[in-house]
Amino acid sequence: MNQTDSPNRIEKSGETQPLTVAIVDDDPRVRELLKEEIQDEGHHVLSFESAETFLDNSSLESIDLVLLDLMMPGMNGLECLQQLHRQACHDKLPRIVVVSALSDPSKQRQVLEAGAESYVIKPDLFERLPTLLNGSTP
């Protein structure tokens, strides 16, 4: 078994195994569009309408990538990210990409310092999705 540049993608006989991607976003349209796009790329999708639902119902060991909305009612994406890192002593954390409608350098700095792999503006998300699914973060 050879590992690719992403620790979560494993090659067997030259074929890359599909990822399990968790989408955490309060907007059902965004969740559905992302789900369709990710499934079209051959990956599995888990969809959550809130950070609380994600934290209560997800098995982090089975997730390779989390697309985490920053601004949600209740627990926001930054708080969810911090909670995930508090749990990290028990679970292996997946790659976490925080997604936001705002281009806010201070929020970007906060989420990266809190352990996110990347901060992506929603208008750029679909363009960057193939790169994110391949384990690269330019």
> Domain 20-134 adopts which CATH fold?
Rossmann fold (3.40.50)
Residue 113 dihedral angles phi and psi, to the nearest 5°: -65, -30
Q: Hunting for tokens 């994600």 — which residue is that?
A: 54
> For 4-37, what is each residue's pLDDT tens digit?
334 444 443 445 689 999 999 999 999 999 999 9
> For 46-69, what is each residue's pLDDT tens digit?
999 999 999 998 788 889 999 999
Ordered DSSP codes for 62-125: G-SEEEEES--SSS-HHHHHHHHHHHTTTSPPPEEEEEESS--HHHHHHHHHTT-SEEEEHHHH
Token pair listed for 77: 């994406």
CA 4 to chain CA centroid, Å, is 19
Instruction: Report the predicted TM-score, pTM, of the whole model to 2 decimal places.
Output: 0.85
